[in-house]
Structure 1
């Protein structure tokens, strides 16, 4: 299977913001599917409205639809009770990607997580983005939120659907092969692993009536540890290098490596306005503080940094030159930090369409203006020394983690 990074014409796209819109889109697609449904997600937390998705998967399996669900062994761990039993009874096939085992994350190889958030329904609709199966008002670590987190996804029809479906199918068969190996069923494992390298095209459901949507050029970008080690980072570098007017990046966990930092500072040096919308609320020590260790360099280059204040920022999106003849936008699961760009399995959709880029740009511009606080370079320089110490410690821990995995960034 070859999943090209090149963009193809003729896609119908819909930008999705907010859990309610996301769940409604996902449930509608699942309820209309007649052949198959596939979902991959880092977090499968069914508190509140998220349970609608589990109920839709159960309904689909009960009416004979083939349903495959993959969740991550860290982000989800085990499916919440009573859903394992309900899924098994309905015929939903579900797998946990890389369960932690006794030593958990003490083994560096287990830091390679399934961070993708994708779904395909009926071979006609694909959904991809940063959204987990998790309500906007609930956080697994912080409980009930005062305001919903900011996150995006994109729903697509067109050639992109087959790309997403092929990638998800290949991962499923590889998980099946690993399962047979653990059961010491080696002949079955071998045949299953061979099957994972073949295409498994399914006949798509007949076309369903759809509302008026955008028509655009789009493509799928993947990051894994075999064939697509740097595809997403290279796409960012190329788009930033071609920027002529404006770059807006919203990233929950942002810690650019040398190449990305250089690309952004060079863009600012040639007169491109660069705005970063970053996490403004404390969530995790390493991710929160490590990025602040590079604030000084970015601010000195004239890059604007805005910290999102209203709630937790979970978006992983970017827009470049949305109002010009070469618009570029991406919506996906990949942060611009070493955990995403070097270790995790990620998936982003790239779009070259002025209407779509303008829509995403408008939402990010609103979030920057209304819900964020600009970082003042002079105020940042006057921070207490202990804040800088924490930043350097977090940055050092991140570099140590990469060293233990054998990566450089």
Structure 2
């Protein structure tokens, strides 16, 4: 018995020692360091397996090539716009220019090399049927190429409809490229695309593994959703490809999301992002600049847009910085919609300062989880914001998956990034930051319409929650830096 206790003591001591070595040997923020230390110490052996799959950072060599992918066709435009800012020349149209917009534009030019585009028209979709009707129609009109990237692509009714449109265009000689995330599309069999490939189409999975069960890059996912058609029409936002996004899963009910259709020069920035991600994923079939990818754009509107990317290939967290900048610049109102509300300390404090400064802060989250552990952390932080004085609405008409923010009816962000640590640090994301009061007001109107299908989270509701529910929220919050 004494020998057994000695062995157990030695194992626990070694576990603590290796836990400390493992966590501190990689650079990460303090909150994530402590969260992983708790996991490794409290779950001997099992914690290390968990860490191996979702905690270990990819080596600099593997995160790779993503960081080193050459920006295709954009670098000269970025440098020209930086010079204009330095020389204080006008970048935005007079009626859409303000000190707020100029500050955010400068931030993204410096941090992300994101060009400002000024000739766009934008259409907002909040319903999956309308989005896919438009997308499929535009695919059938393609003459030169269709570039598709989704986190989730499923072999179901809507997935098959999209595939049929892609196959028809490939058969007509149009270049068709499909990039999907290996984890998000894990239920998708490679054979799903066999006919498309036989017609000349090409596909790639992002951060896949030769072994379907073992994938040490499991935690770093390409969460972007981008479609570019002929370099002239672009789509991005929250909708993936699957029947649940049409509200056909009873578990979720109606699926409320926000997606953009863009025509104008911002499409070229989406194109650039797609080509870089394709080249990062493809061992062969590397893409190079060609004029057909970047056609001359006929002015479609007057909406100003910057396409901004972020991911674990950089420590900058560009989209999070954009959110912080928007919140700190707000003078009247901040409206946020997100399925996951798990802010880090910097974002949480910035929001609390806004509330205490008298700014109208409204946050909308779903009434049900698609990932229960993350949802409990979401409700914990929602309670924090209620206590601070913000209005938190629970969308009660299905599942809310929109990722939007609008400030002062002037500037808005719509894209793929949730309001959580994972989107800021671990996922590859893309957002459109839009500097157009017309679009911002439209997004505000959508928010107010959603309020009609929501209920206000009050302190009384929070006080009446069971102790077990409160414990789950507090427990989940401890692991928010690694969710």
Q: Which residue of 2 aligns with 1:144?
A: 250
Which whole-Å CA distance do the structure 1 matches of 2:419 and 2:332 have between them?
Answer: 21
User: Where do 5+ consecutive residues of structure 2 fail to align?
Assistant: 1-70, 76-111
Structure 1 gaps, min length 5: 181-191, 403-409
Aligned-residue Cα RMSD (Å) equals 2.5
Say which SS state the counterpart of residue 254 (structure 2) adopts. coil
Match of 1:256 in 2: 343
1:130 correspondence with 2:212: no
Aligned pair partner of 1:120 in 228, 236, 253: 228
Deviations 1:230-271 (A, max 9, x none): 110111111111101111100011101111111111111111
TM-score, structure 2 length as denominator? 0.72
Residue in 1 aligned with 2:51?
none
In 2, Cα distance between the equivalents of 1:63 and 1:106?
37
Alpha-carbon distance between aligned partners in 1 of 2:431 and 2:214, rounded to the nearest angstrom? 26
Of stretches 343-352 and 76-85 in structure 1, the one that deviates more from structure 2 is 76-85
Instruction: Provide Cα deviations, 1:153-182, integer angstroms capped at 9, x if missing partner.
Output: 1111222111111111111122123xx6xx
Residue 305 of structure 1 contacts residue 374 of structure 1 at CA under 8 Å; is this kept in 2?
Answer: yes
2:292 to 196, 202, 216: 202
Tell me the equivalent position of 1:20. Answer: 129
Structure 2 residue aligned with 1:361 = 444
- 2: CA distance, partners of 1:347 / 1:203: 19
Q: Which of the numbers 198, 204, 211 marks the counterpart of 1:89?
A: 198
The 5 Å alignment of 1:261-340 reads: 261-322=348-409, 327-340=410-423
Q: Is the 8 A contact 2:155 2:188 kept in 1?
A: no
Q: Give the match's secondary structure for 1:202.
A: helix
Bigger fraction of residues in helix: 2
Q: CA deviation at 1:8?
A: 2.6
Question: 1:335-355, CA deviations, whole angstroms, 9 ceiling, x for partnerless residues?
Answer: 011111110010111111111
Cross-structure match for 1:386: 468
Give the C-alpha shift of residue 23 in structure 1.
0.9
Contact 2:265 2:297 in 1 (8 A): no
* Correspondent of 1:344 among 402, 427, 431: 427
Match among 129, 150, 167 for residue 58 of structure 1 = 167
Q: Secondary structure at the match of 1:221?
A: strand
2:454 aligned with 1:372, yes or no? yes
Q: 2:315, 2:123 → 1: CA distance?
A: 26
1:187 matched residue in structure 2: none
Conservation of the 8 A alpha-carbon contact between 1:11 and 1:215: yes
1-structure distance, mates of 2:438, 2:310: 27
Q: Secondary structure at the match of 1:281?
A: coil
Distance in 1 between the 2:159 and 2:449 partners? 26
Render the CA deviation track for 1:33-57: whole Å, top value 9, x for unaligned.
Answer: 1111111101112433443211111
Alignment of 1:98 onto 2:207: yes
1:201 Cα offset (Å): 4.5
Q: Which gives a bigger RCO, structure 1 or 2 (Cα 8 Å, sep 6+)?
A: 1
Taking a change above 3 Å as real, the CA distance of residues 269 and 121 of structure 1, as seen in their structure-2 partners, is: same
TM-score by length of 1: 0.84
Q: Is the 8 A contact 2:155 2:192 kept in 1?
A: no
Deviation at 1:282, TM superposition (A): 2.7
- C-alpha distance in structure 1 between counterparts of 2:268 and 2:233, whole Å: 9
Partner of 2:313: 226
CA, structure 1 residues 154+265, in 2 after alignment: closer, same or farther (shift >3 Å)?
same
Larger displacement relative to structure 2 (79-88 or 239-248): 79-88
Q: How many residues align?
A: 374
Residue 228 (structure 1) shift: 7.2
Which stretch of the first structure deviates more once superposed, 74-83 or 19-28? 74-83
Give 1:81 deviation, angstroms: 7.9
The 8 Å contact of residues 276 and 306 in structure 1, kept in 2 or not, is answered as yes
Equivalent residue number for residue 259 of structure 2 = 153
Based on CA coordinates, which of the two structures has the bigger radius of gyration?
A: 2
> Quick check: 329-338 or 378-387, which moved more?
378-387
Q: CA deviation at 1:144?
A: 3.4
